[in-house]
Chains A and B, each alone.
Chain A
């Protein structure tokens, strides 16, 4: 009886439509930057930002590839120019699209023209991914694991984690790529058969985050290959990851 009770009490755990959940208001996803003028000489957001994600020239712009979604800029700005929304669909294949400008109202999307033809051709119904943590802090890895748990269940779309790079169609890197992981990352990539993709999951993978520019990193791998998907977040939310991947592989 115990097991039956458990199953009944658990009910349906999966989220039926992963593009639909509404996260709490307080969740920090896509930011909106208003066009309101900054106060005279004010540079508060730039000064407080831990990762230099904000640039202030004519107006301000905010780079989601560097942002750790701490919300410090939002609470610091005297003009309330910065407002993080609960929009979690912020993955893209175009690095430039991660830079949010003032007055932008449409969300972050993939550039369909930049999705390589072989991705849709081969991976639309099945995508096997090898995850490599290269300095990831285990929040990243926990969220990537959650993508395949009973709630998010990305396996229903044919997207799965695999153990061997030989079985993989691509690689998902988390962490800023430490010096000591530079070689293993390369070896793993080389072992994946063509055609193959690279996904950067989380702020540290995309830009190095707070660790950017330090001597313990070696990000030279990223200069050699095209990146197929950037998934911002600190850590990246499973909904951001799965919706991003689906937008990339679906015809």
Chain B
């Protein structure tokens, strides 16, 4: 096998990644991912010099290694390739994206449908209005279409349920309504103030997750050395974001099972956490908190004290509410055995984050490919085995408690750490990105595994920037989870997965 071995948060010489034939690529990758510890974290193509260049990264959760594969195709020819999806289903979304962007045809792909109708897609005749939905026919079969605009205050997407009575046979999810051309803007907007803003706008509910991943790539490419204290502070921010969204999610879940007390109390408990971000950096969604190479908002002793107080108060109120909720038969009856998905299915679709862990898959980048300060603490991923909506909720509950513990540990380390982090604003114009590099950063955000990769050209400019939100893997898992459920259980399934529309549509 011909690949380059690397690990998380590294940059390698682009030319050091061996370029192999598509056939070899296909064979090698298929073999490699036979091992369930290995999964594809990103696979994409872009126009590089005179060729279409492809990169595929396979992460090994047991060894923390990342295997990099590459192949190239002629830009001017039409290509028909045997699909990898045929052997490893998890590649389906990546091949669909490559097909949509470049018109490459994967011959035995089961459903080579558009992903997001990017404005620069290869076939402009494909429009969001003529999406090729699955059809099921039969006297008893009917369809329910929902969206793009939904009943609540949420992002747009179209769900089409194929039902037999109240029973969902299949759900097809059509996305793309949120497409804003984000990836390309990373190249055309060249100021770092713009790129930071873009990273913070990939998914406004995961600002720390995406901004941190972006900043790591830039630090790697600028050759800025990792600072332990800076990473410690960023780890605190990541855990705070996790608490805020997880507790907000539990509130939404309670709303959907008509449990008013949980809805109100968990909702109210999210407020002090996001308001803490407002005290820290002036923005409830932590925008501007993460910047490449330095910390714009030092965690002063006063801020640390405030955080201790916020967490103590939160913990007391959170625990009494969650005890109540997780012992309430009427809530449990709705969550138990709803939206069941099996571990085998999750391996098939390459699921990540809480939904994967809800079926017992121990996939958590904090442990498997540690970054930030997680390299220096022992973190055991939280898993459940039932794969129903209750399992998701239980994981969120445990993760909230573990995040509180982690933050307390981080705060105590902050006091004793003899070094300080850079706080001086950086003039990025005085720095240069290393030329001809491939840089990769993986982060376990509250939603799961984020992967950003960046490529620089010979002149040291960004040539390509690729974003993979965890939602890319997980949308199909949601569709599988609602099969054979009553359609009225869809809202709680949707809420437990809590996937990103804009992170997917980019």
Contact = CB atoms under 8 A, between A and B. Distances in A.
A and B are partners in one complex rather than unrelated chains: yes
7 contacts: A161-B152, A163-B151, A179-B119, A184-B156, A188-B149, A211-B180, A235-B285
B285 to A, nearest CB: 5
A6 B265 contact: yes
Contacts of B156: 132-134, 181, 184
B408 to A, nearest CB: 21
Contact of A178 (B178, B268, B297): B178
A211 B297 CA distance: 27
Interface string A210-230: 110011110000000000000
A3 interface: yes
B502 A138 contact: yes
Interface residues of A, number: 65
Contacts of B176: 180
Interface string A119-140: 0000000000001111111111
A58 interface: no
Given A70-B193, A210-B194, 7 more contacts: A6-B317, A6-B324, A48-B193, A75-B296, A133-B153, A210-B201, A211-B180
Interface string A133-161: 11111111111111001110000000001
Interface residues of B, number: 63
B316 to A, nearest CB: 7
A41 interface: no
A237 B285 CA distance: 10
A142 B317 CA distance: 22
Given A6-B265, A178-B178, A136 B155 contact: yes
A139 B197 CA distance: 13
A180 B194 contact: no
B103 interface: no
Contacts of B271: 146, 149, 151
Interface string B173-208: 000111111000100010101101110011111010
Given A139-B205, A184-B149, A211-B181, A237 B284 contact: yes
B62 interface: no
A39 interface: no
Interface stretch (B46-54, B275-283, B349-357, B487-495): B275-283
B501 A138 contact: yes
Contacts of A70: 193, 196-197, 287-288
B320 interface: yes
A26 B279 contact: yes
A31 interface: no
Interface in B235-261: 248, 261
B94 interface: no
Interface of A: 2-3, 5-6, 9-10, 13, 23-24, 26-28, 47-51, 68-72, 75-76, 84, 131-146, 149-151, 161, 163, 175-176, 178-181, 183-184, 188, 209-211, 214-217, 234-235, 237
A211 B282 contact: no
B106 interface: no
Contacts of B203: 137-138
A142 B180 contact: no
B267 A50 contact: no
The 3 A-B residue pairs whose C-beta atoms are closest, nearest first, are: A139-B204, A137-B204, A163-B151
Contacts of B180: 135, 176, 178, 211, 214, 216-217
Contact of B194 (A50, A149, A183, A184): A50
Contacts of B197: 50-51, 68, 70, 210
Given A24-B282, A144-B153, A150-B264, A178 B204 contact: no
A181 B502 contact: no
Nearest to B429: A47
Nearest to A28: B282
B460 interface: no
Contacts of B284: 143, 235, 237
A10 B285 CA distance: 24
A9 B179 contact: no
Contacts of A76: 425
Given A150-B268, A188-B149, A141 B283 contact: no
B283 A28 contact: yes
B321 interface: yes
A133 B205 CA distance: 14
A176 B181 CA distance: 12
A143 B274 CA distance: 11
Contacts of B297: 26
A179 B31 CA distance: 41
B323 interface: yes
Q: Which of A5, A23, A135, A145 has the most CB of B within 10 A?
A: A135
Contacts of B287: 68-70, 139, 234
B154 interface: yes
Contact of A2 (B181, B288, B323): B323
